[in-house]
Amino acid sequence: MIPFLHLGPITLPTYGLMLWAAAVSGAFIMDRAFKRAHIGADAVGMVAITVVAGIVGAKIWHVLDTPSAFREQGWSCLWSRAGFAWFGGLTLGIVTLVILARRAKIGVVRILDLAAPAAAVGYGVGRVGCFLSGDGDYGIGIKPLHFLGITFHPWGIAFPHGLVPVFHPVYPTPLYELAGSLVIGWWLWRRLGKPHATGLILGQYLVLTGLARFLVEFIRRNPKVLWGLTNAQLAAAGSVILGVGLWLWCARRPVSEALPTADKVSEADVIEKASAPARKPA
């Protein structure tokens, strides 16, 4: 693992670098979504503010989720490189984006639709930072799997030089989450460009990301808190339920036409002007 990059006298944490890469990728996708929807608001600025709020929310939720860490480390756990909770970042990030949308006079549900692909991809890229730094966000120890008389040996990796060292092979769950997030982001981006009811993309985002997090928790090393589930699984289940409700609500709403791209608009304008009868001078 590579928790830090040493460039002469400069030391750069790989987690911070990948967090920056996640923000850049999210800002790029958000900006493209705004342009495709012909929205003139500052997408990059919105993403920057939302990312900062998401980091704060992730740290706060981590402290609430694991009070033992706060008792052991004190206030320093709020700015340590380890300990970020997905649900806290999602919650405060959404609240911040809603506030920014209202200030920009954009529909709240609409901007959440537009931000869904960016959020999915940005989350996946950020997980690469967890993998490189070895901050403890990985899975349980690898064990052979027996199915129909066949024994499978899943691929695992140790993190002996990570911020939270592990010397035996474990499931590299950050890589699984990266792959899942990229697929979800791709799917949401395609759906965003097609006719859909406002809120449908957000509903699909909540369902797909919640389901992905719920499943990966079975091989992560988080403690079980209720019904054999982790806190993250309970939060993910809530996300899925909320997303399904929003999905069903959107099914009863009229489908809006997908906004054409700038190229199509220009072509339509040219055809309209060419076919319009010439006006005689008065």
- At 5, the amino acid letter reads L
pLDDT, tens digit, for every residue of 246-274?
Answer: 988 887 877 764 444 443 443 344 334 44
Assess contact for 211 and 184: CB atoms under 8 A.
no
What per-residue confidence (pLDDT) applies to 158?
86
Q: Nearest CA to 114 among 96, 125, 101, 133?
A: 101
Question: Which of residues 266 and 144 earns the better pLDDT score?
Answer: 144
pLDDT, tens digit, for every residue of 10-39?
Answer: 877 887 788 889 889 988 998 999 888 888
pLDDT, tens digit, for every residue of 196-206?
Answer: 888 899 999 99
What per-residue confidence (pLDDT) applies to 271?
39
pLDDT, tens digit, for every residue of 38-66?
Answer: 888 888 888 888 888 877 777 776 666 66
Name every residue whose Cβ is closer than 8 Å to that of residue 121 and which is 6 or more positions away in sequence.
25, 26, 29, 181, 182, 185
Q: In whole angstroms, give the CA distance from residue 13 to residue 81.
A: 9
The residue extents of the domains of the chain are 12-137+158-256
- At 51, the amino acid letter reads V
pLDDT, tens digit, for every residue of 145-182?
Answer: 787 778 887 888 888 888 788 888 898 999 999 999 99
What per-residue confidence (pLDDT) applies to 263?
39
pLDDT, tens digit, for every residue of 182-194?
Answer: 999 999 999 998 8
What per-residue confidence (pLDDT) applies to 129?
85
pLDDT, tens digit, for every residue of 95-126?
Answer: 888 888 888 888 888 888 998 999 899 989 98
